[in-house]
Amino acid sequence: MANPARMSINQATTREQHSLAQAIAAYAQAGVPGISIWRDKLAESGLSDAVRMVADHGLQVSGLCRAGMFPATDAAARQACLDDNKKAVDEAAALKADCLIVVAGGLPEGSKDLPGARRMIRDGLGALLPHALAAGVPLAIEPLHPMYAGDRCAINTLSQALDLCDDLGKGVGVAVDVYHLWWDPDLQVQIKRAGDRILAFHVCDWLVPTTDLLLDRGMMGDGVIDIAKIREWVDGTGYDGLIEVEIFSAENWWKRPGDEVVRTCLQRFNETV
For the entire predicted model, the pTM comes to: 0.98
Q: What is the mean pLDDT of residues 3-20?
A: 96
Q: What is the CATH number of domain 4-272?
A: 3.20.20.150
Per residue in 24-46, pLDDT (tens digit) is 999 999 999 999 999 999 999 99
Per residue in 202-254, pLDDT (tens digit) is 999 999 999 999 999 999 999 999 999 999 999 999 999 999 999 999 999 99
Element (H, E) at 269: helix 258-272
Q: 9 with 35: CB under 8 angstroms?
A: yes
The answer to whether residue 55 scores a pLDDT higher than 80 is yes
- In angstroms, how far is the first alpha carbon of the chain from the final one? 5
Question: Could you write out the DSSP letters of every residue in 14-74?
Answer: GTTT--HHHHHHHHHHTT--EEEEEHHHHHHH-HHHHHHHHHHHT-EEEEEEEEE----SS
93 three-class SS: helix
Per residue in 58-85, pLDDT (tens digit) is 999 999 999 999 999 999 999 999 999 9
Domain ranges of the chain: 4-272
